[in-house]
Structures are given as C-alpha cells and as structure tokens.
C-alpha cells in the first residue's frame, strides 16, 4: 500500500467515529467528493449501502429545499 493511501485510511479511522451512524458518515464523505465505491472501500461496507445512503441524503436535501422555497400565504 502506498503512503498516500495509508494516510487516507488513517484519517478515515479518525473521522468515522465522529458520526452517529454509518449513513451519516457516508453522506459526509459524499459531500467531500468521494464516490460511493470509494466510500464503501474506506468504511468497509458495500457500494450498494453507500449508494443507498447517498441517494437518501439527496432526497432529504431535496425535501428541505422544497420546504424552504414555499411561499407563505398571508392570512
């Protein structure tokens, strides 16, 4: 294993415990630009699990966005 890869893995080991759930960690790594396959490799899970968590995160963001853009009608 090359030294850059070792550094990445050590950093992931330090960062992962900061998140309450694996799904939360996956979403944060996704925000950092990691692909689902890479996240799965780093966190020791399957690419399918990572893809599902990323998709659910996008759905949640879309719902939050649509609520924020709703106009309130005066009463």
- Indicate if the pLDDT at residue 16 is higher than 70: yes
Q: Are 57 and 29 in contact (CB under 8 A)?
A: no
Count CA within 13 A, CB hemisphere, residue 14.
6
Q: Give mean pLDDT, residues 17-26.
A: 96
Domain ranges of the chain: 3-57
- Indicate if the pLDDT at residue 72 is higher than 70: no
Answer yes or no: CATH 1.10.10 is held by domain 3-57. yes
Tens of pLDDT, residues 22-67: 999 999 999 999 999 999 999 999 999 999 999 998 888 888 877 7
CB atoms within 10 A of CB 47: 14
- Indicate if the pLDDT at residue 18 is higher than 70: yes
């Amino acid at each position: 294993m090359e030294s850059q890869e070792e550094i990445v893995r050590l950093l992931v080991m330090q960062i992962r415990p900061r998140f309450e759930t694996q799904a939360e960690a996956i979403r944060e790594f996704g925000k950092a630009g990691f692909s689902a396959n890479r996240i799965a490799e780093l966190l020791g899970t399957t690419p399918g699990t990572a893809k599902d968590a990323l998709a659910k995160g996008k759905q949640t963001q879309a719902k939050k966005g649509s609520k924020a853009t709703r106009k309130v009608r005066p009463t």
